[in-house]
Amino acid sequence: DYIFGTAEQLHRALNDLFSERSYDLFTVIQTPGTSLLGEALEPELDAISKEFGIPHLFIESPGLSENSMIGYDEATVRLMELLCDKPCTNKKASKIPSINLFGFDAHEKFPEGGLKEITKLLKLCGISVHVAAGMNCPITDFRTIAQADANIILCPERCKKTAEYLRSHFPIPVYETGGMPIGFDLTEEFVRGISSLLGTNCEPALDYIEESRSRAFYFIAHKGFPKDLRYAAEGEPSVLRGYVDYLSGYLGIKPKVIHPLYLQCHTENLIQEKLHELHCEDALEQDIASVNNVILLAGANTIVELNTYSDNIFGIETANPGSGYIHVIPKTYVGCTGALYLLEQILNGTKLLRAWN
């Protein structure tokens, strides 16, 4: 709820909320208006927290007025400062190594399906997921982050401060993947890297990846892509790196436009290096608003906007906000399941592009 007015009104509102049910945590985001008026909410919130015995997180909205990645990163660090138990020096060794995952957020198109696929891949490597931050994680589990054997950073744009905090406060390794494991090659790199870090056997996961490659090859060989097929993509640099690696590096489709977002997170080198590797650097210099005759990977807002200017675009929603289509079965663009689902979308999109022509 947005509470407008004085700290006294906020106290009354929270009192009503806490009388209805019990809470493990409450969060207050201060609006720019109250910030400008100079209302000192923190002392009042400290008193409320003490009165009801509920920990609280207070965030001034100027931090969240920057891009959402910075806000997500800041909130994650603040939650760890507030909730996480101190590392245990005599931690008991576990037969099954466990990891924490950081990097899922509200921009993720299919976070539930993504977590399910990553959990499956790691389970095949003999590794369990202890905490997946931002994925309906219970506070009781979030408190025990220090009990895992490693912290895995999936998306560096969302986790710069998070990674720094983890390294400085927890005596367990931090492994940065450079982005989500999109496509078969990056998925293989993902499982090999984490398995090597924790000393487990990743062969069952590699077998699963190879089976998925075989299924993909069957459809690619029988359906194929026209030589002039192009795609455009918009998103965070580390996520674009995955799409370019899969669509261009594996499927052999050339990019027409690559439009990185959130460049103030300083991860644009990830996509620049990938495009340089594939000799497609000119895709960064094109205007995404002028594309036509392409498969477009973006959020629904961009897809709808570009369809008003272009007459031959097939949109694939890869980020939120979405168009309102209801997905009952969990889907993903991550891992093997994601690679096959994205291939399915591209094959069908290619048919429609041909029909429109």
pLDDT value of position 307: 86
pLDDT value of position 267: 79
pLDDT value of position 317: 94
For the chain, 357 residues long, give each residue's pLDDT as a single digit of tens: 455 566 778 888 888 888 888 888 888 877 666 666 666 778 888 888 888 889 888 877 655 556 778 888 888 999 999 888 877 655 656 689 999 999 988 778 899 999 999 999 999 999 999 999 988 888 889 999 999 999 999 988 889 999 999 999 999 999 999 899 999 999 999 999 999 999 999 999 999 999 999 999 999 999 888 888 999 999 999 999 999 999 999 999 999 999 998 776 677 888 999 999 999 999 998 888 888 889 999 999 999 999 888 888 999 999 888 888 888 999 999 999 999 999 999 999 998 886 555
Instruction: Compute the residue count for the chain.
Output: 357
Q: Report d(CA 200, CA 3) in Å as an integer.
A: 50
Q: Report d(CA 189, CA 212) in Å as an integer.
A: 15
Question: Residues 6 or more apart from 276 whose CB is under 8 A from it?
Answer: none
pLDDT value of position 43: 82
Concatenating the DSSP letter of every residue in 51-118 gives HHT--EEEEEHHHHTS-HHHHHHHHHHHHHHHHPPPPPTTPPP-SS-EEEEE---TTBSSHHHHHHHH
**pTM of the model as a whole:** 0.88
Residue ranges in 199-299 assigned as alpha helix (H)? 203-223, 237-244, 268-277
pLDDT value of position 52: 87
- State the number of CA atoms in the 13 A half-sphere of 30 facing the CB: 21
* Phi, psi (deg, nearest 5) at residue 40: -85, 90
* Strand pairing report for 128-132 and 174-176: unpaired
pLDDT value of position 1: 47
Nearest residue to 344 (alpha-carbon basis) of 291, 288, 295: 295
